Amino acid sequence: MLERRSTASHVHEEVLDNGLRVLIQEMHTAPLASVWCWYRVGSKDEATGQTGVSHWVEHMNFKGTTNIPRDKVKGIIEQFGGYWNGYTWIDQTAYTETATRDALDRMLFIEAERMANCLYDPADCESERTVIISELQGGENDPETLLDQELTATAFKAHPYRHPTIGWLSDLRTMTRDDLYGYYRRFYVPNNATLVVVGDVDTNDAMRRVVQHFGGIRPVDVARRPHTLEPRQLGERRLTLSREGTTAYLKLGHHAPAIGDPDFFPMLVLDAVLTGAKGLNLWASFRTPPPQRSARLYRALVDAGLASSVMGGLVPTSEPFLYTISMTATDGTPVARLEETALGELNRVRLRGVTETELQKATRQLRARLVFENDSISNIAHQLGFFESIASWRICETLRDRIDAVSLEQVAAAAFERLKPFNRTVAWFEPLPVGAGGEVPTGDGAGPASTGRRVTETQSHR
* CATH classification at residue 305: 3.30.830.10
* Residues 186 and 272 both lie in one domain: no
Determine the 3-state secondary structure of 40 from DSSP.
coil
Question: Do 171 and 215 belong together in one domain?
Answer: yes
Residue 361 confidence class, pLDDT cut points 50, 70, 90: very high
Q: pLDDT value at position 96? A: 97
Q: CA 193 to CA 35: how far, in whole Å?
A: 13
Cα distance between residue 445 and residue 169, in whole Å: 7
Distance CA 326, CA 143 (A): 12
**Which of 57-71, 185-199, 226-240, 435-449 shows the lowest mean pLDDT across its residues?**
435-449
> What does the pLDDT read at residue 71?
82
Residue 240 sits at φ, ψ, to 5 deg, of: -135, 130
* Amino acid identity, position 267: M
Residue (of 278, 217, 283) closest to 83 by Cα position? 283
Is the confidence at residue 66, as pLDDT, over 90? yes
Question: 88-92, 431-435, 452-456: which range is least confident on average?
Answer: 452-456
Same domain, yes or no, for 210 and 296?
Answer: no
Is the domain of 215 the same as that of 291? no
Residues 194, 331, single domain; the answer is: no
Query: What is the reported pTM?
Result: 0.92
Contacts of 303 (CB under 8 A, 6+ apart): none
Proportion of the chain above pLDDT 90, given as a percent: 84
> Which of residues 451 and 206 earns the better pLDDT score?
206
pLDDT confidence tier of residue 438, bands split at 50, 70 and 90: low
Question: What CA–CA distance (Å, rounded) separates 303 from 394?
Answer: 40
Q: Round to whole Å and give the CA distance between 71 and 68.
A: 8
| Within-domain flag for 197 | yes
- The region of weakest confidence among 195-209, 400-414, 438-452 is 438-452
The mean pLDDT value of the chain amounts to: 92
Residue 439 in any domain: the answer is no
C-alpha angle with apex 59: 58 to 61, nearest 5 degrees?
A: 65
Residues 356 and 395 placed together within one structural domain of the fold: yes
Q: Do residues 251 and 186 both lie within one domain?
A: no
What is the model's pLDDT at position 140? 73
> 132-173: per-residue pLDDT in tens?
999 998 877 899 999 999 999 999 999 999 999 999 999 999
Band of residue 416 on the pLDDT scale cut at 50, 70, 90: very high
Q: How far apart are the first and last CA of the chain?
A: 40
Domain of residue 339 covers 246-432
The 3 state secondary structure assigned to 268-320 is: HHHHHHHHCCCCCCCCCHHHCCCCCCCCHHHHHHHCCCCEEEEEEECCCCCCC
Looking at per-residue pLDDT, the higher value among 167 and 448 belongs to 167
Contact 338, 373 (CB under 8 A): no
Same domain, yes or no: 218 and 268: no
Residue 318 resides in a domain? yes
327 in Cβ contact with 249 (< 8 Å):
yes
Task: Please determine, for residue 2, whether its predicted confidence score (pLDDT) is greater than 70.
Answer: no
Tell me whether residue 230 is in a domain: no
Read off the pLDDT band of 262 (50, 70, 90). Answer: very high
Are β-strands 424-432 and 237-244 bridged in parallel, bridged antiparallel, or unpaired? parallel
User: With the CA atoms of 317, 192, 399 and 415 taken in that order, what torsion angle do they form, in degrees rounded to the nearest 10?
Assistant: -20
- Report pLDDT for 141: 80
The pLDDT of 203-226, averaged and rounded, is 95
User: Count of domains in the chain?
Assistant: 2
Provide the pLDDT for residue 9: 62
Residue 285's pLDDT band (cuts 50, 70, 90)? confident
- State residue 414's pLDDT score: 98
Residue 435: its pLDDT value, please? 74
The string of DSSP letters for 347-376 reads HHHHHH---HHHHHHHHHHHHHHHHHTTSS
Report the relative pairing of strands 193-199 and 32-39 from DSSP bridges: antiparallel
Rounded to whole angstroms, the Cα distance separating 89 from 454 reads: 8
The one-letter amino acid at 35: V
Q: Is 251:151 a contact under the CB 8 Å cutoff?
A: yes
pLDDT at 442: 34
Q: Model confidence at 460, in pLDDT bands (50, 70, 90)?
A: very low
Q: What mean pLDDT comes out for the span 302-314?
A: 97
CA distance 292 to 242: 30
pLDDT greater than 90 at residue 92: yes
Q: 228 lies in a domain?
A: no
Q: Return the SS3 of 173.
A: helix
What is the distance between the alpha carbons of residues 75 and 319, in angstroms, rounded to a whole number?
38
With respect to residue 449, please indicate whether it lies within any of the assigned structural domains.
no
Cα angle: 266, vertex 268, 269; to 5 degrees: 65
The secondary structure of the chain in percent helix, strand, coil, rounded to multiples of 5, reads 45, 20, 35
The pLDDT of 29-56, averaged and rounded, is 97
- In angstroms, rounded to a whole number, what is the distance separating the alpha carbons of residues 260 and 52? 26
218 lies in some domain = yes
Instruction: Place 253 in a pLDDT band, splitting at 50, 70 and 90.
Output: very high
Pairing relation of β-strands 193-199 and 21-26?
A: parallel
Do both 193 and 318 map to the same domain?
A: no
Mean pLDDT throughout 17-25? 98
Q: Looking at the structure, do residues 361 and 279 belong to the same domain, yes or no? A: yes
214 and 270 co-located in one domain: no
Percent residues over pLDDT 70 in the chain: 92
CB 280 within 8 A of CB 386: no
Report phi then psi at 249, rounded to 5: -130, 150
Residue 62 lies in a domain: yes
Same domain, 21 and 128: yes
Task: Indicate if the pLDDT at residue 375 is higher than 80.
Answer: yes
> Whole-angstrom Cα distance, residue 255 to residue 323?
6
- Confidence tier at 239 by pLDDT (50, 70, 90): very high
